[in-house]
Amino acid sequence: MKKLLGAVFMTVIFVTIVAFTSSKPDTYHSIEGTWELENFYNFDGENITDTLPTTEGYRQVKMYYNGKVMWSRTTQKFIKDADGNDVKGRFGYGTYKITMNGLEENIEYGDIGMMTELDTLRNFKFELWLDDDRYSQITLDEEGNRTFSENYRRID
């Protein structure tokens, strides 16, 4: 009986020591949350060549939760939708997936202008730069060169 209690006691001590001294796996930043477009970058294929602010009155917000993405944008001036109607904004909804260094969005539906554009393209793939309170979705050309990015800051 003493040997059994001794073995149990040593096992508890060993497990406790391992739990406190084991290194924890690195945690990754999460894109889940609400983000607002801050500015755009232009690239020369690899490096940032220019930073462009959003225009006055333009606002774009994206929300990522539970594998779903929704975005909306608005401007102070009316723009024309696919049918020629005056509108002050656009929206889209779909799913998203994060890969090792990428972001994939599959837009399922949106406003009439977005739905017209979706006839040709529904799946968007970006290079992703992500930290706690900022992210950039970078568009790549056919050869994998960076062309431009949308840069967001976390608002929630």
10-58 tens-digit pLDDT: 665 655 665 555 554 444 579 999 999 999 999 999 999 999 999 888 8
64 CB burial (10 A radius; 0-12, 13-18, 19+): buried
The contacts of residue 44 (CB under 8 Å, 6+ apart) are none
Percent of the chain having pLDDT more than 90?
53
